[in-house]
Each structure stands twice: as structure tokens, then as C-alpha cells.
Structure 1
Amino acid sequence: MHYKGSCHCGKVAFEVEGELTAAVRCNCSICARKGALLWAVPHQKLRMLAWGDDLGRYTFASKAIAHRFCRTCGIHPFAEDVGEGSERSAYVNINCLDDIDLSAVPVIDFDGRSA
């Protein structure tokens, strides 16, 4: 399926292709604070539509994941593996997708604090 999404102000916008069968609620220090529900997709399935200078990047701990955010409104629409290659993933915050019924998406809890 094809989905579109964005931050709150719309300066960071994207589209993603895939089957949204579940989302992950991670309890690591950043995901818990931002309340993200993450959907992992192959990185090449995420296509940026708008970002300009507004797409910020934050990494911490092992620096394996780049948490992306809008520098204008502060919303975190997705994260991505920092490595190169075809095995990279993007982690879309489904709260930022247009026209989906969040209550219909099963949520899997992940213990990111212990990982």
C-alpha cells in the first residue's frame, strides 16, 4: 500500500510503500519520550517529498540509528539506519501518516531499554 506522511508543519514530507501489519512501541529513552509507533520498512521504500534545511538528525548511544525530526515544528516522522547498503531500514512513525486508523494497527512492545 502507498502512504503519505509529514511532520506537523509539513516542511518534512514523505511517502512510503508497504504493508502496515503492525507497529512497534519501543521503551528506549528517546522513543518513550516522543511516543513513536514505529513501522520498519526497507529504506528504499521511503521517499522524501520535502525536507530542505528542516530535516534534523539526532543520534545517541551506539549511533546506529539517526532519529530524524523537523527543525521547525519538532515532530519526529521517522528514523533510519546510519549504515550504507541495501539492508538499511527506515522506521516510520505511523502517528505521522495520513488517513490511517491507528486503533486498527496492532502494537508490539519492544524493550529497547535493555537492548
Structure 2
Amino acid sequence: MTTYHGSCHCGDVRFTFEHDAISSGLHCNCSICIRKGALMSDFILPADQLHIDAKPGALALYRFGNGVAKHYFCKQCGIYPFHETLRMPGHFRLNLGCIEGLDPLNMASKVFDGKSL
């Protein structure tokens, strides 16, 4: 297991977690993810395994549709670092572009059909 560190662009939202080596990611074609264009983790983390350290008031939340999925972003720089999933509330996917030492542009990826949910 490796301890990974991530943050938004300005650093007001930081997070850490442990996971095996990350070598691939996931794109989703739902209406918000297609616009974000981020490569997300192809694994999910239970809330107790994602350690979030955000400045007070820095982390904002956006919900749409049925409101179950929670899309978080930094109020200062606007970057999306992670979201709570629709299919498994209480579990998170991470923006791989926010994780130190990863190059999401050179990772294999799959497409998840969130548009059809």
C-alpha cells in the first residue's frame, strides 16, 4: 500500500489515502463529468479511508438530479478533487489529476456509462 497525497490547485483542499499502485482511471459520460473532463479513480474509497483536510469554508458542494451524488470543489480555485458516488453513497472517487506524482494523461482509462443511469 502507498500513501497518496492530493490537493486542489491552490492547496486549500488537501486529502490523503492509502491504496495499491494507481495505473489506470475512469472517465464518466454523465452530464457533469463529461464537462469536467477529469480522469477519476477506477476504484472507490469508503469515507473513513479518505482523509480530507480543508481550510474552513473552502470545500463547496454541488448536487444535481436526485441529489445523491455529491460533487465537491474548492471555492477558491474551482478544482474538483473528489466526489461521493451515486451508486455507493458514502464512497468516493478521486480526481487523479489532483494526486501528487500521478500523470493522468499517460494512464489507461475506461469509460463508465453514467449518462444512462
Structure 2 residue runs without a partner (length 5+): none
User: Which residue does 1:31 correspond to in 2?
Assistant: 33
Q: Say whether the 8 Å CA contact 2:27–2:109 is kept in structure 1.
A: yes
SS of equivalent residue, structure 2 residue 70: strand
- Identical amino acids, percent of aligned pairs: 39
Q: Give the deviation of 1:80 after TM superposition.
A: 1.2
Matched-pair contact (CA < 8 Å) for 1:18–1:45:
no
Letter paired with 2:32: I
Q: How does 1:1-115 map to 2 (within 5 A)?
A: 1-19=2-20, 20-39=22-41, 40-81=44-85, 88-115=90-117
Deviation at 1:16, TM superposition (A): 1.5
CA distance in 1, matches of 2:78, 2:33: 14
Letter in 2 for 1:65: A
Shift of 1:36: 1.6
1:4-28 per-residue CA deviation (whole Å, 9 max, x = no partner) reads 0111100011111112253110011
Give structure 1 stretches of 5+ with no counterpart: none
In the TM superposition, structure 1's runs of 4+ consecutive aligned residues that sit over 6 Å from their partners are none
Q: TM-score, normalised by structure 2?
A: 0.85
TM-score of the superposed pair, with normalisation by structure 1: 0.86
The CA deviation at 1:102 is 2.4
User: Which string of whole-angstrom CA distances, capped at 9 and with x for unpartnered residues, describes residues 25-73 of structure 1?
Assistant: 0011111111121112222211012231010000111211100000011
**Equivalent-residue separation in structure 2 for 1:72 and 1:103 (angstroms):** 25
In structure 1, how many angstroms separate the alpha carbons of the residues matched to 2:80 and 2:101? Answer: 18
